[in-house]
Amino acid sequence: MESSLIASAHESSVVTDAARSNSLRARSSQVRSFIRVLAATGLVLIAAAVAAAQDENKKIGRSDDPTQLSLDQLMKSEIYSASKQWQKVAEAPSSISVVTADQIKKYGYRTLADILRSVRGVYVTNDRNYSYIGIRGFARPGDYNTRVLLLVDGHRLNDNVYDGAYIGTEFPVDVDLIERVEVIRGPSSSLYGGSAFFGVINVVTKTGHDLDGTVVSFEAGSFGTYKGRVSFGESFKNGLDAVISASFYDSAGHSKLFFSEFDNPSTANGVAVDADRDRYHSILGKLSFRDFRFQTVYGNREKTVPTAPFGTVFNDPRTETIDRNAFVDLQYAHTFQNKWDLTGKLSYNRYAYNGNYVFDYTGAGTPPFTENKDSARAAWWGTELNASKKLFEKHRLTLGLDYRDNIQQDQRNYDQDPYLPYLDDRRQSNVVAFYAQDEFKIRRDIIVSAGVRHDRYSAFGTTTNPRFALIYAPQERTSVKVLYGEAFRPPNFFESYFYSANREAQPLSPETIKTGEVVLEQYIGRRFRISASGYINGIHGLINQQVDALDRIIYANVGSVQGHGLELEVEGKWFNGFEGRAAYTLQRSTSEETGEVLSNSPMNLAKINLTAPLGQRRLFASFEGLYSGPRLTLSRTTLPASFVTNVLLVSQRVFKGAEFSFGVYNLFNTRYSDPGGEEHRQAAIPQDQRNWRIKLTYRFGEVR
Amino acid sequence: MGSPVKTDYHRVYSAVCLASHRGSQAAQLCVGMVVIIASCAICRSAQAQTLNEYEAKAAFLFNFLKFVDWPAQAFADDNAPLVIGIVGDDKSSERIEQLVSGKSANGRQVVVKRFPSFKQLTYCHLVFVRASERERLPQNLSAVRSGSLIVGESESFARWGGAINFSIKDGKISLEINQKSAERAGLKISAKLLSIARIVKD
């Protein structure tokens, strides 16, 4: 495989040089008009919020005494309970977004990628194989989400060969089992170590108490897509909380996909037939009893790759990737009499990747073709100890120890028939880290939080990363945060050892990022929350592919990027069930070497999410609008702006215990494409047009 | 391998441009619709009776005083106050105190005391255990003196020895009552209060 990979990647990096930014200017007027509409919407929403707040104060008013309400009146009252979550968000030393189970249901999100797409400042690129996260204007081609730390209930999911985070159908947790997703922006290496470069995504799964019984769910959608799930969850009287769930998914995919780059009689006129299949099955089990929690997650995803990456044969459905993630995790959390909170974790993790790539080495265009097998086997033990205590009333001190023993980090590549091995790289390594953080409440309204973490990687050495936050909350409804953080992204084993040039060269160094940020969070009335943040990023030592003196591919610490941006979000919640969110991000990220704007880095991103109840809280209609400004491809062509609209109807109770939803995604049939990575001949990969899904969920034995 | 040639790209690009222009008009339409829906919802919502979580809890606690009978020996004399004790750390505890203390129920003045943890707890007629204290609940609750109505806001609280528990779902507060717990403490909960609660057992 090495030979073929080298060839295709080398060629595309040569093509990359052609800059064509004229089209960016040509499209800017359209962008401006959209911004105007968006700004107007924002103003109307804010005005409405202020009006609503005033109206509310008149109605309920501070002078009204809730203790004079009767029991019956109290039972009927709507409770404003979101504040707890928002309070946590307001006090956190970062800018945080939370997507809840309720939103996942109401907006009909099908994958973690769908969920992340709705988050302010985040965009997701898909190449019909994997999904790639872009945060704050940064989405490198061929980056398998190595610069974002993905956690499931606090457990690290990034593997130890690619450091990849899997967020599409390859994410091993069914989205229906997610209680909430927390997106923590900014560098968090001072707490989490490597990968927490642009942010941390923590997926919190449901407990037995949340699931409360046996649930079966079935869905069907466009492109021959079917999914089934069976879950059981219960919180028992003796304090045991149990969850067990299994999911199956099979999507035939597009029966025909057209790629104009292959529009040639020798490559099936650019039409890939039945080459888009996507299947997975996943299992989640969780047991909590008193201070202990045991959790296991398993997911296996098989995807046929229709895009002919790496110069493989076009329209050959044997080209596929298989990704398997699994872990078991045991956690002990206890608060001791002397008020120390102690958490201990022990986990065993496995990740396996099998790629099957069909090559036509002879170039004859006719079989027999050669199947190239590309694979990775990863296994690691993880342990973590975390202790925290409140000291002298005003301090909260947190100390931690993190140890990862990477017992297997193997990569292999060979041609099957005739057998020809290219790579059989077997490795082990370990990482040990210490961290400390202090949260100091200087005054009632000022919190200073400072932390530092020291990591020692057996593969390349040590790195130390600090973080500092000042949180000023003059009143409960306002908080201002000033944040500074540094983070690193360790070179992964693919970059370090896949190519022979790297195996012979000096070890790579970690990439580094320094971020400064100011965040304002403000409540208006009881229903609205506004967040605004401005940030500056400086990224150095980016690991990029190059060609060495012997004309071989080599990864080297060569790139630097400067980025800055502004994010704005308005969230509103009403008690009749109406909810809405509007977010806008303006950013610019440029390469320090060339001064050019990065590829796949939209200057403008905007999102609108609205849910409205239609009669008695049983039926909800949701609207989601996702706007992305123009983006450059790797070959410096400009992809036009896109606006994708998703709508969903969900009925909470069609009949006792049953829930039904119908969603239409990309309602207006917008044609749009995402930039392709270096492994693709396509500079841009067309995305799904209008498609739908129906879903029926039934809960057994529902009484109420 | 044949070298990847990218000349075809221009054709796709112009096609996508056209499509997207159409999409943008649709977008503006949507935004307009959204604004209208939003304003309608705002108008409608003003009619709903709403309370902050702590306001509702304060009001419930105050009401509990009226719907629970304490034995005469729970008071030093006829003028002795009804004491509510709040255990645990929560910003809103202070606000609950402000809302309830100084009022009177059953002809007695209501006094609110706050305790950082169970260790400092002295006798109170009603003990409200904040969610921050959910560790070691069964042990701590069993140590609370008889004659106290124990109210909580944590999962399984009423099963672990609490008498009343608040739970919030879909924006409504609901009560779970463990009658046995109250009886063990020598207290009687009125039928009215029981009728609006979900009864749970140990």
What local confidence, expressed as pLDDT, does residue A38 receive? 53
- Smallest Cα distance from B157 to chain A, Å: 10
Q: How far is CA A234 from the centre of its chain?
A: 29
- Cα–Cα distances (Å) from A59 to A52, A72, A526, in that order, read 10, 19, 12
CA distance A569 to A482: 18
Tokens of A324: 């398997």
Tell me the residue range of the domain where A635 lies. 2-62+90-364+371-699
Q: Is A11 on the interface with B (CB under 8 A)?
A: yes
> Which residues in chain A touch residue B99, judged by CB atoms under 8 angstroms apart?
65-67
A residues 43-62 closer than 8 Å to B (CB)? 44-45, 48-49, 51-52, 55-56, 59-60
Name chain A contacts of B1, Cβ cutoff 8 Å. Answer: 4, 7-8, 311, 359-361, 363
Q: What is the pLDDT of residue A383?
A: 94
pLDDT for A7: 33
Does the CB of A464 have a partner CB in chain B at under 8 Å? no
Chain B interface disruption, residue of A12, A71, A646, most B CBs within 10 A: A71
Instruction: Select the residue of A77, A638, A681 nearest B50 (Cβ to Cβ).
Output: A77
The amino acid sitting at A643 is: F
CA–CA min distance B186, chain A (Å): 23
Interchain proximity B172–A335, CB inside 8 Å: no
Task: Specify which residues A376 forms β-bridges with.
Answer: A353, A411
Q: Residue A417 is encoded by which pair of tokens? A: 């028939």
Rg over CA atoms, chain B? 28
Residue A586's pLDDT is 93
For residue B172, list chain A residues with Cβ-Cβ distance below 8 A: 75-79
Q: How many CB pairs under 8 A join A and B?
A: 237
What's the sign of the alpha-carbon dihedral A77, A78, A82, A87? negative
pLDDT at A20: 33
Query: What pLDDT was estimated at residue A39?
Result: 55
* Contact assignment for B168 to A75 by CB distance below 8 Å: no
Return the pLDDT at A367: 84
A137 within some domain: yes
> Considering CB atoms only, which of B5, B50, B196 is closest to A80?
B50
Give pLDDT, residue A424. Answer: 92
* Chain A nearest-CA residue for B99: A67
In this prediction, the answer to ipTM > 0.90 reads no
The answer to whether A44 contacts B4, with C-beta atoms less than 8 Å apart, is no
Alpha helices of A153-277 — where are they, by DSSP H? Answer: 189-192, 208-211
Answer whether residue A77 is part of any domain: no
The per-residue pLDDT for A314 is: 92
Residue A467 lies in a domain: yes
Query: Who's near A116: CB < 8 A, 6+ residues apart?
Result: A122, A124, A133, A167, A181, A183, A201
Whether the CA torsion B191, B194, B200, B202 is positive or negative: it is: negative
- A71 occurs within a structural domain: no
| Euclidean distance between CA atoms B118 and B128, whole angstroms | 11
Q: Please name the residue of chain B whose CA is at the shortest distance from the CA of residue A81.
A: B53
A463: closest CA among A61, A239, A195, A182?
A195
**Who among B6, B35, B136 is closest to A15 (CB)?**
B6
Dump pLDDT digits (tens) for B118-142.
Answer: 888 899 999 999 988 877 788 888 8
Q: Do A66 and B56 touch (CB under 8 A)?
A: yes
The phi, psi pair for B155, rounded to 5°, reads -55, 140
Considering only the beta carbons, identify the residue of A69, A83, A627 that sits closest to B59.
A69
Residues A55, B51: C-beta atoms closer than 8 Å:
no
Shortest distance between the Cα of A643 and any Cα of chain B, in A, equals: 6
Cα A92 to Cα A10, A185, A519, distances in angstroms: 44, 11, 11
Give the per-residue pLDDT at A187: 86
Residues 486-545 of A with CB under 8 A from B: 526-527
- B109 to chain A nearest CA, in Å? 14
Reported as a single tens digit per residue, the pLDDT across A459-469 is: 888 999 999 99
Interface of A with B in 307-366 (CB under 8 A): 311, 334-335, 359-361, 363
Q: Which residues of chain A have pLDDT under 70?
A: 1-64, 78-90, 476, 526, 575-576, 616-617, 701-704
Q: What is the per-residue pLDDT for A701?
A: 67
Cβ-contact A538, A486 below 8 angstroms: no
Per-residue model confidence as pLDDT tens digits over B44-77: 333 335 677 888 899 999 999 988 888 888 888 8
Residue of B6, B23, B172 lying closest to A261 (CB–CB): B6
Confidence of residue B13 (pLDDT cuts 50, 70, 90): very low
CB contact under 8 A, B99 and A66: yes
* B32 three-class SS: helix
Q: Tokens for A181, please give them.
A: 């997703």
Contact B24 A44 (CB under 8 A): no
Interface contact flag, B172 A610, Cβ < 8 Å: no
Nearest-Cα distance to chain B for A436, in Å, is 23
Instruction: Give the pLDDT confidence score for residue B19 in this predicted structure.
Output: 37
Name residues whose C-beta falls within 8 Å of residue A58's C-beta, 6 or more positions apart in sequence: none
Residues A442, A439: Cα–Cα separation, whole Å: 9
The owner of tokens 């229903």 is A527
Contact state of B135 with A263 under an 8 Å Cβ cutoff: no
Residue of B nearest to A56 (CA): B46
Query: Searching chain B, which residue's CA lies closest to the CA of residue A59?
Result: B46
Q: CATH number for the B53-199 domain, one of 3.40.50, 1.10.760, 2.60.290, 3.30.70?
A: 3.40.50
CB spacing of A261 vs B5 below 8 angstroms: yes
Q: Would A169 be classed as within a structural domain?
A: yes
Question: CA of A101 to nearest chain B CA: how many angstroms apart?
Answer: 12
Q: What is the pLDDT of residue B50?
A: 66
A237 CA to chain B: closest CA distance, Å? 7
Count of domains forming chain A: 1
What single string gives the DSSP state of each residue in A420-438? Answer: EEEEEE---EEEEEEEEEE
DSSP symbol at A65: -
- In contact, A571 and A532? CB cutoff 8 Å: no
pLDDT at residue A693 in the model: 96
Confidence (pLDDT) at A60: 39
**Minimum-distance CB partner of B37 among A235, A612, A625:** A612
Amino acid at A563: G
Region for A137 from its dihedrals, namely left if φ exceeds 0, alpha if ψ lies in -120 to 50, beta otherwise: left
Which has more pLDDT, A119 or B79? A119
Q: Which among A594, A602, A588, A597 is positioned nearest to A630, based on CA atoms?
A: A602
CB of A8 within 8 Å of a chain B CB? The answer is yes
User: CB distance A66–B58 less than 8 Å?
Assistant: yes
Residues of B in contact with A68 (CB under 8 A): 59
State the best of A81, A687, A702 to mutate against chain B, taking most chain B CBs within 10 Å. A81
A442 at the B interface (CB within 8 A)?
no
Question: Using an 8 Å Cβ cutoff, are A662 and A673 in contact?
Answer: no
Task: Determine the Cα angle at A545 with ends A414 and A257, to 5°.
Answer: 65
